[in-house]
Structure 1
Amino acid sequence: MPRSLWRFAAFYFWYYAALGAYTPYVGRWVDALGHGGFVIGAMLGLWYGTRIVAPPAWAALAGRSARPGEWFVAGCVVTALCFAGFLVTREAWALLGVMAVFGLFYNAVMPQFEAMTLTALGPSPELYGRLRVWGSVGFLAVASSYGALMDRFGADSFPWLTLPLFVAMAVSAWPHRHDRPPEIAGPAIAEAGHLFKRPGVRRFLLVAMLMQLGFGPFYVFYTLHLQAAGHSGAAIGALWAIGVLIEIAMFWQAPRLIARFGAGRLLSVCLGVTVLRWALVAAFADLFWVMALAQTTHALSFATFHACCMRLITDYFPGRRAVAGQSLLYGFSSGVGGVLGAGLAALMWERVGAGPAAFAAGAVVALVAWGIHAMRRPTPAATPA
């Protein structure tokens, strides 16, 4: 890989290293502060909600600037400053306020950076995977180790342990202050409303949304569920590491599987395996070897499912329509599905039966998604845009 691209690998590493601390362990920290499942669910719900609003708003602001790279650096610095607000917040209303502002900036900068990365790669887009994998390495390094660190220093140490990662992210953004995203001429996002009516699109988006909804208990309460089942922080970190490692490996193999079996058929397998995964997590959380086995299914329920969705996007939204298609998928899956999933997880955790009930609900949602997908019609052949 050319030396000039290592600065991109560095930013991916630190951005996802910070995410590797936040996603698995923010719930454990909020729980240690004495707050219940509804506050934890609201924290993650705001996280997903800002993913809907932040990227287009930030793109509009940065796009009007003659120096968009400086906007990018500023966004990363403000992200670190906002996260520092968690050092002095304990009340629920304050936590949610800081979360809302922090999420807006943290979720805004990555789409801009992705565009700058593709511009830098130019005629060599195949190098993207070699850069992006450093993000997975960063997530893996932190997610696998922070459980043990919080065991040693206490759950209250979470913001102090994590803030340096955001500072490092801001520092790694500085070399990109002169970078620019590409000038893209394509369809307006408004075209997505028309594409929403195309045959099969609504079913596909509904399945993607339900899959993300079913992941709600995993992203919000997985660490707490394992902790309640008696696992140590080191064991929990190891389980997160298994999922990330298998995800990395499967992303390399998914194109071959899709070419052999077809995205639609493979998606059915992913959904079926996900039902089994959440059922195992609900029923056997105290058995480490069962949880390790369940984490290996992340290869299908996340990595392969995501790859299948990307392939189906090119069928439903060929050519220049892919931009509008991606906006629909992102909004329905990561946005709506993420918010609803966090809400479902919090409701089941607080009102029904904590971890087992939350993950059982996730299994039911995945089962519904599998049934909806099973009733699909053949994917339309791609046509030139």
Structure 2
Amino acid sequence: MIGKFGIPSFNDPRMKTATVLALFFVGLFLIQGVFLPYWPVWLKSQGLSAGEIGILLSLPNWVRVFADPLIAQRADRTGNRKTPMLWLAGIYVITILAFPVSSDFWWLAGLSVVIGFTFSPLLPLGTTITVHECKTHELDYGRVRLWGSLAFIGASFGAGLVLDGTSTAWIVWMLFAAGIINFAIVTRMPDPQTDRPLRSGSSLIYLLRKPVFLIYLGCIGFAQGSHGTYYSFASVHWESIGYRHDVIGAFWSIGVIAEIALFAFGGKYVRGLHPGILFAIGAASGVLRWTVLGLTDNFWLIILVQPLHAMTFGITHLAAVSFIARAVPSQLATSAQSLMATLSMGVFLGSSIWASGPLYEHFGSHAYFAMTGLSVIAFFFALWLIRRWRGEDNTFCD
């Protein structure tokens, strides 16, 4: 079983499954740990403007609007998630090597589209497998997921150390190495086969016709969208005011350390809470976090608010997964995960990242105030979800 600190013990065979699931998140977040903090820095080194960087960073999020549902609905119909994951992870590895070929904006835009199509669907597909296996083997999802956060810390901080001694050209090679590791891990993923769909029509349309599910999408969408300026220009801004790459990596790591603590020790405290309450906590934390980052570049104040990532992202993620696990039948789980990822990380976050380009270009760090506004909207959606959904299991099984 998994011990007190989430470390697997191989005495129980089921922990082999837990280890593979944990490694899936490790592989995925090794990539994210380099991409999120430092990909904007690499794009800036290619001579691109803030507006062009915003467009390129938003493209993968927009592509997933089409890619995630297409792949997810196919996976739900066949019950097979692993095979598409292998293809997607392999194509990603090849694509990342093509970025240094040219610094032309349209070349980079085309490759960004491919990255969006190949990398983005991996998370909803893998999360569906993970949730299924956690239910089957009675594993704690949060303690499986935290290993991805640990990988993010190692990647972001380690990449910062590498870059301080080398050049930004190494960003691409670190992403390539992380992609190889990710592909190798995907080959070891479980391949559970689920039942045929509950309905003959589109599972996506079916879910989108449910008012409670739409409110849920509003909660997670505006909450994730509020991270747009942070994901796209935090590192660029901190670099521009003189912070070293290792310090920037430390800033990112502090937030993820807090997220890990939540996943490791907070699961038993939040598991029984209404997802709407968790969404509200995350949104209120976003109001505080983005307001402070918009007001000051002070080292200690940045250190003070970065742990709120455990709330703005971590508790929001737990709320999103909890709602799907409780309200959506397993036969529709991949479609629900995909819609959640598509709209929150695609439409909402993609729009926010795109808008952050001109906002940062004109207002600098004050662009965070727009993110504060999105957190306020997310808070009111959370209150709406609390009123409309009473916590019924398999709400959409009709």
TM over 0.5: yes
Q: Match of 1:380?
A: 389
Structure 1 counterpart of 2:279: 267
Task: Give the direction of change, closer, same or farther, for the CA distance of 1:232–1:210 in structure 2 (3 Å limit).
Answer: same
SS of corresponding position for 2:202: helix
Distance change (3 Å), C-alpha of 1:92 and 1:296: same
The separation in 1 between residues aligned to 2:186 and 2:86, in whole angstroms, is 5
Q: In the TM superposition, what whole-angstrom CA distance separates every residue of 1:277-310 from its partner, at most 9, and x where no partner exists? A: 001111112x111111111111211111222233
CA positional deviation for 1:88? 1.5
Q: Is the 8 A contact 2:124 2:337 kept in 1?
A: no
Instruction: After superposition, give the CA deviation of every residue in 1:293-352 in whole Å (9 maximum; x if it has no partner).
Output: 1111112111112222334446665786666544443332122112111112112022x2
- Deviation, 1:141, is 0.4
Native 8 Å contact 1:14 1:169 kept in 2: yes
Aligned pairs (5 A) from 1:87-236? 87-115=100-128, 123-126=136-139, 128-175=141-188, 180-188=191-199, 190-236=202-248
Aligned residues: 380
Whole-Å separation in 2 of the counterparts to 1:262 and 1:119: 21
Q: Structure 1: how far apart are the matches of 2:148 and 2:279? A: 25
- CA gap of 1:128–1:298, structure 2 versus 1, over 3 A, is closer
Query: Which one of the candidate residues 309, 323, 326 is aligned to 1:298?
Result: 309
Which stretch shows the higher mean deviation, 266-275 or 252-261? 252-261
2:47 partner SS = coil
Partner of 1:344: 355
Deviates more, 1:193-202 or 1:239-248: 193-202
2: distance between equivalents of 1:63 and 1:319? 9
Match of 2:363 in 1: 353
> What does residue 32 of structure 1 align with?
45
**Distance change >3 Å, CA 327–CA 172, structure 1 → 2:** closer
* Identical-residue share of aligned pairs (%): 22
In structure 1, the partner of 2:60 is 47
Worse overlay, 44-53 or 68-77: 68-77
Q: C-alpha distance in 2, partners of 1:324/1:278?
A: 31
Determine the C-alpha separation between the residues in 2 that align with 1:168 and 1:294. Answer: 32
Q: Is the 8 A contact 1:79 1:166 kept in 2?
A: yes
CA distance in 2, matches of 1:265, 1:292: 26
CA distance in 1, matches of 2:145, 2:175: 21
Structure 2 partner of 1:309: 320
1:200-252 C-alpha deviation (Å, 9 max, x unpaired): 44343223222222211011111112212321111111111111111111124
1:27 Cα deviation (Å)?
0.3
Aligned position for 1:18: 31
CA contact (8 A) 2:60 2:112 kept: yes
Q: CA RMSD in A?
A: 3.2
Gaps spanning 5+ residues in structure 2: where? 1-8
Asked if structure 1 preserves the Cα contact closer than 8 Å seen for 2:156 and 2:252, the reply is yes
Alpha carbons 2:72, 2:335 under 8 Å: kept:
no
SS at match of 1:224: helix
Deviations 1:333-383 (A, max 9, x none): 122112111112112022x212x2321111122223334544666243215
Shift of 1:156: 2.9
Instruction: Quote the residue 2:5 is aligned against.
Output: none
In the alignment, the residues of structure 2 paired with residue 56 and residue 377 of structure 1 have an alpha-carbon distance, to the nearest angstrom, of 27
Contact 2:60/2:113, CA 8 A, preserved across alignment: yes
Give the deviation of 1:37 after TM superposition: 1.6
Q: Equivalents in 2 of 1:377, 1:128: separation in Å?
A: 23
Q: 2:58–2:353: 8 Å Cα contact kept in structure 1? A: yes
Structure 1 residue ranges without an equivalent (≥5): none
Q: After TM superposition, give the deviation of residue 71 of structure 1 in Å.
A: 5.1
The verdict on how the C-alpha distance between 1:315 and 1:184 changes in structure 2, with shifts beyond 3 A counting, is closer
Partner residue in 2 for 1:362:
371
Q: Could you report, residue by residue, the CA deviation over 1:61-94 in whole angstroms, capped at 9, with x for unpaired residues?
A: 7789999756543432221111101121211111
- Partner Cα distance (2:169, 2:206) in 1: 49
Greater mean alpha carbon deviation, residues 111-120 or residues 303-312: 111-120
CA contact (8 A) 2:290 2:369 kept: yes
> Closer, same or farther in 2 for the Cα pair 1:375/1:52, shift >3 Å?
closer
- Give the alignment's TM-score, normalised by structure 2: 0.83
- Partners of 2:134 and 2:221 in 1: CA distance: 32
Asked if 2 retains the 8 angstrom alpha-carbon contact of 1:254 and 1:307, the reply is: no
Which amino acid in structure 2 is aligned with residue 54 of structure 1? A
Q: Please tell me whether residue 240 in structure 1 is matched to residue 252 in structure 2.
A: yes
Kindly provide the amino acid, as one letter, of the partner of residue 247 in structure 1.
Answer: E
Q: Using the alignment, how far apart are the partners of 1:79 and 1:243 within structure 2?
A: 27
Q: Contact 2:76/2:335 (CA < 8 Å) preserved in 1?
A: no
How far did residue 48 of structure 1 move? Answer: 1.2
Q: Distance in 1 between matches of 2:229 and 2:326?
A: 31
Contact 1:116-1:182 within 8 A present in 2 as well: no
Q: How far apart, in 2, do the equivalents of 1:365 and 1:64 lie?
A: 35
